[in-house]
């Protein structure tokens, strides 16, 4: 029964995430199916659908002027934060640690997208985002959500401060970054001490993003491509979405390298 409940929860959470990702791309055609079970997923789904209808009705006029386009990003950010708050409230009434962890992970994914819209709202350039600022803000946000009182996890950054990417690249990259940092915080440091390094380099053939930790590494029998974890599946799905080559290695820790081309 518990297995079936988890499968149902994973499926619903993934459906909600896919629709929210579409809204983050300003595509409001997708809707979440309401099952009439009157559970937390139906409540969140109803709120997300209402958000999509509101934004869809105003999209044509909002795209006509830059000032109104900023308001779109502001609205999306605010509504994503409302959904995140709903998940927080729901977690207060849940004692099952596995389900609590799933809600926290869903909240972090939503936060990674809300942060993009917040940065677009605050910037004069509505077409791209400073990736250095985003990487630092997102990784610190994820760390705070997992932070234990006695943990000491340090972050090292090597990202060009003048590097910018467009929103349709930043959404999947932000979600990938969220999943990888979350995995490191959950599994890499049993002694609650370590370092996570995030680096972005421009090469001749591609942009290289690497996220590395100095933790215990991946078990030898672990197969990423066959893993049933929603987080691992998201990493590969989103890497395909941005046409990125993904390499995972485990040597004195775990390293993820994504190589993707700049748009012409």
What is the SS3 assignment for 130-150? EHHHHHHHHHHHHHHHHCCCC
Please compute, for residue 141, the number of CA atoms within 13 A of its CA located in the half-sphere on the CB side: 23
Spell out, as residue ranges, where the chain has pLDDT lower than 70. Answer: 1-4, 38, 58-108, 112-114, 116-127, 148, 224-228, 262-264
Whether residues 98 and 57 fall in one domain: yes
Q: Which among 60, 95, 125 is the end of a domain? A: 125
Q: Are residues 70 and 146 in the same domain?
A: no
- C-alpha 231/C-alpha 180 separation (Å) is 8
**pLDDT value at residue 258:** 92
Number of domains in the chain: 2
**Tokens at residue 118, please?**
């917040």
The pLDDT of residue 29: 80
Same domain, 112 and 145: no
Q: Tokens standing for 50? A: 């209402």
Judge whether 222 and 204 are in contact, CB under 8 Å. Answer: no
Question: Given its phi and psi angles, is residue 77 left (phi above 0), alpha (psi -120 to 50 degrees) or beta?
Answer: alpha
Which of 125, 156, 174 marks a domain boundary?
A: 125
| Torsion angles phi and psi, residue 27, rounded to 5 | -110, 110
CATH code (residue 176): 3.30.565.10
Consecutive H or E run containing 155:
strand 152-159
Please indicate, yes or no, whether residues 29 and 150 belong to a single structural domain of this protein. no
At residue 21, the pLDDT reads 81
In this prediction, residue 74 carries a pLDDT of: 55
Same domain, 58 and 189: no
Helix axes 2-24, 167-183, angle to 10 degrees: 150
pLDDT value, residue 71: 55
Return the residue matching tokens 């234990």: 148
- Residue 206, number of CB atoms within 10 A of its CB: 16
Last residue of some domain: 81, 110, 125? Answer: 125
Cross-strand bridge partners of residue 208: 201, 259
Helix (H) or strand (E) holding 164: strand 164-166
Please give the backbone phi and psi of residue 259, each rounded to the nearest 5 degrees, phi first. Answer: -115, 115
Q: What is the pLDDT of residues 161-199, one digit of tens each?
A: 778 887 778 878 888 888 898 889 888 898 989 999 999
Please name the residue that has the structure tokens 């917040």.
118
Full domain range(s) for residue 50: 1-125
pLDDT in tens, 120-149: 656 656 567 788 888 888 888 888 877 767
- Taking the C-alpha atoms of residue 180 and residue 111, their distance in angstroms, rounded to an integer, is 15
Residues 6+ apart with CB under 8 A from 168: 25
Tokens of 113: 């997208």
pLDDT at residue 214 in the model: 94
**Sign of the CA dihedral with 114 first, then 178, 108, and 83 last:** positive
Strands 193-202 and 152-159: parallel
For 31, the 3-state DSSP assignment is: coil
Is this model's pTM higher than 0.85 or not?
no
């Amino acid at each position: 029964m518990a297995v079936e409940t988890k499968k149902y929860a994973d499926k619903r959470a993934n459906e909600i995430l896919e629709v929210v990702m579409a809204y983050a791309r300003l595509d409001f055609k997708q809707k979440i199916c309401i099952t009439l079970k009157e559970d937390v997923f139906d409540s969140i789904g109803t709120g997300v659908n209402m958000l999509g209808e509101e934004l869809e009705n105003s999209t044509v006029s909002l795209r006509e002027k830059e000032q109104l386009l900023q308001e779109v990003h502001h609205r999306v950010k605010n509504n994503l934060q409302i959904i995140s708050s709903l998940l927080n409230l729901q977690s207060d009434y849940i004692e099952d640690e596995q389900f609590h962890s799933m809600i926290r992970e869903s909240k972090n994914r939503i936060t990674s997208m809300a942060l993009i819209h917040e940065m677009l709202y605050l910037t004069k350039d509505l077409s791209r985002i400073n990736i250095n600022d985003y990487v630092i803000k997102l990784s610190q946000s994820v760390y705070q959500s997992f932070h234990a009182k006695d943990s000491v996890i340090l972050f090292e950054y090597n990202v060009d401060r003048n590097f910018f990417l467009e929103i349709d690249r930043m959404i999947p990259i932000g979600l990938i970054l969220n999943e990888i940092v979350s995995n490191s915080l959950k599994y890499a440091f049993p002694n609650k001490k370590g370092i996570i390094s995030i680096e972005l380099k421009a090469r001749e053939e591609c942009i290289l993003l690497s996220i590395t930790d100095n933790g215990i590494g991946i078990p030898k029998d672990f197969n990423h491509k066959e893993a049933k974890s929603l987080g691992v599946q998201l990493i590969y799905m989103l890497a395909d979405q941005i046409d990125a080559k993904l390499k995972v290695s485990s040597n004195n820790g775990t390293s993820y390298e994504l190589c993707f081309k700049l748009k012409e």
